[in-house]
Structure 1
Amino acid sequence: MLREFKNHIKTNLSFLVGSKLLIACSGGLDSIVLSKFCELLKLDFAMAHCNFKLRGDESDNDEGFVKLFAQQINTNVFVTHFDTETYAKDNTLSIQMAARELRYVWFKKLALDHNFDYVLTAHHADDNLETFLINLSRGTGIEGLIGIPEINEIFVRPLLPFSREEILSFAQENKLKWREDSSNSSTKYLRNKLRHHVTNELKSAVPNFLNNFKTTVSYLKQSNEFIKHQMVKLKKELFDTSEGGNVIKIPISRLREYGNPRTCLYFLLRDYGFTAWDDIEQFIKSQSGKQIFSNSYRLVKDRDYLLLSPIVEEISDRCYQISEEESMLMIPSGTLKFKEVLEMSDIDFKTIFVDKAKLKYPLTVRKWKEGDYFYPIGMKGKKKLSKYFKDEKLSLLAKERVWLLCSDNEILWIINYRADDRFKITPQTKELLKITIT
């Protein structure tokens, strides 16, 4: 097995050679064999051991064993103690999840503090099979079925191609000693139940089961890479960012052309934290204005489009004021600048000119509300903002981002859109005020 491990490192993980490595070592069979392999290959490594204080003297004896082993192979070992039960209770986690969080955070800190390039863990093929079955039982997607990643950020799992049987055989042949975790014999946890009652039976019933499983996972990984590549192309075709403000427009008609909107939406939206796929499938048939939220994003149905945008702090009740003496005002959508000029220049949607004598200070900037109206410049009569937005075909999210510049509660400018006719420059105007948004 040592030769196969060496070839695996050379062929697939050559970046580990010459790198500074940290091995997560519990003292169990797998991590002891991994540490021994790294010693025999003369890799540059130290070890890290977590004492979770969950098994009394047994936990302390594991710690002592790892320290002694580190001396025997002439490498450094970092040791830490965790009050795992308290952490689990305080954070409403299972003991297993609490221990996982604690150790991975500590490993990352060690890597940062001591300049380790990679952290090696001793997960192997049997662990991968158990993870596959756990994820399968939870109804996971394809990414859950490809199992444990061999490389994930700084974490590398060099033993992943090898079975527990191979690892045990090497340890016995080389007379290695290791610690047995008594909790591994308990069927309290799902992983242990699968190990004792499912995976062993599968391997017994089908002698080549583990190799067949590894082949299947390889196919799943290839399929997943193909899907990722296709999703990049699909996002380029479907994601329209012309709306601005970090809003992505997805045309529903184009989405339906792909024949399976639910699957497309799953791959398009999963990276934004959405999980309610049944609701989202019905969502595209719902009436305009419906919304679905993830922890950090929201999806809005707006006529023929789905609008995806980050959830931002609610600012609808904010109001800003600027006095006559001030020349600049910062608002969420940009910076307003006020400057007296002698004559008008080019006008665009970011610039207006008004008769300063018609203004009543302080000017205010606020969000629009239902019932607001203005007198569109160049037109006779007033118009409700809701009707103006509809005529301009503004989406629901675009309307939410509209700010109004007001004088004595009269709308002076729908910022970035249109000025009000009541404040326009006339032949009688003596003071011209240029207002811009940048």
Structure 2
Amino acid sequence: MTDKVLAFCEHHQLFTTTDKIVVAVSGGIDSVVLCDMLSKLKMDFGIAHCHFGLRAEEADADELFVKKLAKKYNVPFYSEHFNTKEYAEQEQLSIQMAARLLRYTWFEKIRQQYGYQYIATAHHQNDAAETILLNLTKGTGIAGLHGIPAKNNKIIRPLLCLTKDDIYDYVTSHQLIWREDSSNESTKYQRNLIRQEVIPVLKQINPNLENTLSQTVEKIKGAEAIFQKYIQEVKTASVTEKPEATYIDITALNGVTALPVVLFEILKAYNYNYEVVQNIVESFTAISGKTFESPTHILVKDREQLVITGKNLGAFGSYEIAEETTIFEAEELMLGLARKEATGYKIPRSRKIAALDAELLQFPLKVRTWKEGDWFVPLGMNGKKKISDFLIDEKIPANLKPKIKVITSDKSIVWIIGYRPDNRFKVTDKTNTVLEIEIKK
């Protein structure tokens, strides 16, 4: 069986014989088998054990057992105690998720601190089957049907070629002892419920369920490679990422096969679920302005494009620009200011630059986000115009409007930054000095 594991590791290039590996060991049967196999393979490894403070004396006994196991194999032993309940409450996580985050963060710390190349966990085929069924039950994309990868960056899983029955056979033939975790019997945990009540029923239909699912995963990975290549082609043709927003060209999506599925793969990075993506696709034939929110982003269907921005774009303070300032920087905005002689001056034709009559300005100038009721006199016009109306005329998507900032002089708007200066402050033949303000970023 050790040869089978070694062949699996070589096939998936999990490690080389010269690599150092830190093994996550709970004291349970799976991690005990992994340690014994690595020892027989003469690998250089250490043992890391987490005490989550959840099972009192039982957890203390687990820690002592794992410490003795490290002594048996004459390898380094690392242990850490966590207040898992407190962390879960603080981060508003389930106990299981909190424990997962704590242990993997700590494992990585140990890996780096002591020069290990990889972190090995003892997941096997049954664990992978449970993961697939759990993801399928909750709803998932194609990536959720992978189960558990054999290698994920610095985390390796050498036992994924074995079933739980294989592991029991191994401990029997090698007369190994291990610790049983009483929490594994509780069906209040979803994974345990799948393990104890769902999989036994499925195995009545297919006794070879774990191997079958393992083979299915390989087929899914192949299908996903084709699928992801297609997704990338669609993204290249339709998605444009800019500092202020991400734009998706709706016309470029015409003819895309299984459009809701493809768009879901693109939008899941912005935390949109599949049901919302279906609604977004339906909006393609509706009028502009339809808004869709995820926990982190806002998407607006704006004419023939989707515009995606992060939330809280309007959270920009109010800042002053002193008369002697040459570089102004606040949050994500940087402006360059330069005074120039008006004689021979040529006004730049760029929305990134405002040319203003310096003598008409009252310092300090102020930079802030525009607000309802703001008005200005657009360059080239003599009458007032509300900024809200100007933004409509400029076809600014609804979710980008909160990002628009203005510069004011004594409460009068002199420039809608990046769009239009105010006619009252324009450079004329009477101007002596020009204040040129340029967007640097």
Q: TM-score under structure 1 normalisation?
A: 0.89
Q: Letter of the 1:12 partner, please give it.
A: H
How far is 1:85 from its partner? 4.2
Tell me which moved more, 342-351 or 211-220. Answer: 342-351
Matched residue of 2:430: which SS? coil
- Contact 1:341–1:433 (CA under 8 A) maintained in structure 2: no
- Identify if the C-alpha distance between structure 1 residues 432 and 91 changes in structure 2 by more than 3 Å, giving closer, same or farther: closer
Instruction: Tell whether the 8 Å contact from 2:290 to 2:301 is kept in structure 1 after alignment.
Output: yes
Conserved in 1, the CA contact under 8 Å of 2:30 and 2:123? yes
- C-alpha distance in 1, partners of 2:89/2:417? 51
- Structure-2 residue corresponding to 1:165: 165
Counterpart residue identity of residue 348, structure 2: I
* Superposed CA offset, 1:253-280 (max 9, x none): 43343254422221111122222x3234
| 1:427 and 2:436 matched | no
Task: State whether residues 339 and 433 of structure 2, in contact with CA within 8 Å, keep that contact through their aligned partners in structure 1.
Answer: no
- Number of the residue aligned with 1:282: 279
Q: How many residue pairs align between the two structures?
A: 434
- State how far apart, in whole Å, the 2-side matches of 1:84 and 1:372 are: 51
Measured in 2, the distance between the counterparts of 1:257 and 1:190 equals 40
For the residue of structure 1 that corresponds to 2:240, the secondary structure is coil
Alignment check: 8 A CA contact 1:337 1:437 kept: no
Secondary structure in 2 aligned to 1:262?
A: helix
What is the deviation of 1:147?
A: 0.7
Q: Give distance in 2, aligned partners of 1:324 and 1:56.
A: 66
C-alpha separation between the residues in 1 aligned to 2:320 and 2:83?
53
CA shift for structure 1 position 34? 0.7
Name the counterpart of 1:345. Answer: 346
1:165-314 matches, cutoff 5 A: 165-241=165-241, 244-258=242-256, 260-275=258-273, 277-284=274-281, 285=283, 287-312=287-312, 314=314
Structure 1 residue 342, shift from structure 2 partner:
4.7
Aligned to 1:335: 335
Q: Deviations over 1:275-312 (max 9, x none)?
A: 2x323422452653343333432212223321112334
Displacement after TM superposition at 1:154 (Å): 1.7
Q: Is the 8 A contact 1:355 1:431 kept in 2?
A: yes
Quote the Cα distance in structure 2 between the aligned partners of 1:412 and 1:90.
47
5 Å matches for 1:370-381? 370-379=372-381, 381=383
Compute the displacement of 1:381 (Å): 4.3
Q: What is the one-letter code of the residue matched to 2:339?
A: K
Q: Tell me the CA shift for residue 403 of structure 1.
A: 2.5
Q: Secondary structure at the match of 2:214?
A: helix
Of residues 321-330 and 211-220 in structure 1, the stretch that sits farther from structure 2 once superposed is 321-330
| Deviations, residues 370-389 of structure 1 (Å, cap 9, x unaligned) | 44443333445444444443
Structure 1 residue 87 displacement after superposition: 4.1
Report matched runs for 1:105-120 at 5 Å. Answer: 105-120=105-120
Tell me how far apart the structure 2 counterparts of residues 262 and 91 of structure 1 sit (CA, whole Å): 33
Q: C-alpha displacement at 1:129, in angstroms? A: 1.0
- Is the 2:47–2:78 Cα contact (8 Å) retained in structure 1? yes
1:371/1:188 CA distance change after superposition, 3 Å: closer
Structure 1 residues 432 and 62: CA distance shift in structure 2, 3 A: closer
5+ long unaligned stretches in structure 1 = none
Aligned to 2:318: 319
Deviation at 1:91, TM superposition (A): 4.5
Pairing 1:14-53 to 2, within 5 Å after superposition: 14-53=14-53
How big is each residue's C-alpha offset from its partner over 1:321-367, in whole Å with a ceiling of 9 and x where there is no partner?
A: 33444444334432140314253135132334333333333333333
Distance 1:352 1:211, change over 3 A: closer
Q: Percentage identity across aligned positions?
A: 37
- More divergent stretch after superposition (108-117 vs 19-28): 108-117
Distance 1:364 1:182 in 2: 64
Distance 1:55 1:358 in 2: 74
CA 1:81 to 1:371, structure 2 compared with 1: closer, same or farther past 3 Å?
Answer: closer
The corresponding residue for 2:397 is 395
Q: 1:346 to 1:132 in 2, by over 3 A?
A: same
CA separation in 1, counterparts of 2:31 and 2:123? 8
CA RMSD of aligned residues (A): 2.7
Residue 92 (structure 1) shift: 4.5
SS at structure 2 position matched to 1:15: coil
Shift in CA distance, 181/414, structure 1 to aligned 2, threshold 3 Å: closer
Unaligned runs of 5+ in 2: none
1:415 paired residue among 398, 414, 417: 417
Distance of 1:86 and 1:430 partners within structure 2: 66
- 3-state SS in 1 of match to 2:222: helix
CA distance in 1, matches of 2:68, 2:97: 28
Residue 131 of structure 1 is matched in structure 2 by 131
Please state whether the residue corresponding to 2:15 is helix, strand or coil.
Answer: helix
Counterpart Cα distance in 2 of 1:392 and 1:222: 46
- Determine if contact 1:327/1:339 at 8 Å carries over to the other structure: no
| Aligned 8 A contact 1:20 1:44 in 2 | yes
